[in-house]
Amino acid sequence: MGLSEGLNLLALVIVPLVAVVVGQYLQTRSKKKDEQYKIFKELLRSRVFGINAESVEAYNMIHIVFSSHKEVRKCWDAYFASLCVENPSEDDLSDCEQKQLALLKEMAKSLGYGDELSQAALATKYLPKGMVQNYMDDKRHRENYANTMEVIGKLIANNVKRNEPPK
C-alpha cells in the first residue's frame, strides 16, 4: 500500500469523524443560543405582563443557560439583590427597574445585538388600553368569584352546623 492509498484510507476514516464532531458542536451551540433567546424573550414579555411561572423559570435558568456570559450573570446577581429588598421605597423600585434593564441590555449584547438595542428601547413597552381593561376586568371577576365561593363555603358550614344533632 502506497502513501496516497494510505492517505485516502485515513481521509475516509477521519473526515466523517470530524464532520460528526463539528456537526454535534454546531447543534449544541445552536440549542444553547435558542435557550438564551427563549429566556430573553420571556423576560421581555414579563416587563409588560408581570411575573408569571414562565418568567420565574427563565430567571432561575440564567446562571445555567448564560454560564459562559459572566456579565449577564453579574447583572442578574445585581438585579436579584434588588428584588430581595423588603418594603422597597420608590428609589429602590426605580433602582430595581434600572437593574432589570441593565440585565436585558447585557443579554441582548450577548445574543449578538451589540449596542443596537439601547436601554431606552428595552424600557419601551406597548400595552393597549383595551388589553389593560380586559386584564382588570378578569382580575375583578376572579376576585368576585373567590368572594362568592368564600360566602358559599361559610353558608354550607353554617347549614351543616345547624343540621347536626345536639350532643
Q: Which of 14-28, 51-65, 79-93 has the lowest mean pLDDT?
A: 14-28
What is the DSSP-derived secondary structure letter of residue 68? Answer: T
For residues 122 and 132, membership in a common domain is answered with: no
Lookup: cell for 120 = 431606552
Burial class (CB within 10 angstroms; exposed 0-12, middle 13-18, buried 19+) of 166: exposed
For residues 112 and 46, membership in a common domain is answered with: yes
Provide the pLDDT for residue 36: 94
Lookup: cell for 35 = 435557550
Give CB contacts under 8 A, 24+ apart, made by 27-34. 32/65, 33/111
For residues 89 and 131, membership in a common domain is answered with: no
Q: Tell me: the pLDDT tens digits for 64-115?
A: 999 999 999 999 999 999 999 999 999 999 999 999 999 999 999 999 887 7
Provide the pLDDT for residue 68: 92
63 has pLDDT over 80: yes
For residues 141 and 121, membership in a common domain is answered with: no
| Cα–Cα distance measured from residue 35 to residue 58, given in angstroms and rounded to the nearest whole number | 10
Q: Tell me: the pLDDT tens digits for 114-140?
A: 777 777 777 777 778 887 788 788 889
Task: State which residues form the domain around 79.
Answer: 3-126
Buried b (16+ CB within 10 A) or exposed e, 5-18: eeeeeeeeeeeeee
- Tell me how crowded residue 111 is: count the other CB atoms within 10 A of its CB: 17
The whole-number average pLDDT for the span 7-20 is 78
For residues 103 and 138, membership in a common domain is answered with: no
For residues 60 and 83, membership in a common domain is answered with: yes
- Tell me how crowded residue 43 is: count the other CB atoms within 10 A of its CB: 19
Provide the pLDDT for residue 53: 92
For residues 89 and 142, membership in a common domain is answered with: no
- The larger pLDDT score, comparing residue 47 to residue 67, is at 67
Tally the domains of the chain.
2
Q: How far is CA 128 from the centre of its chain?
A: 22
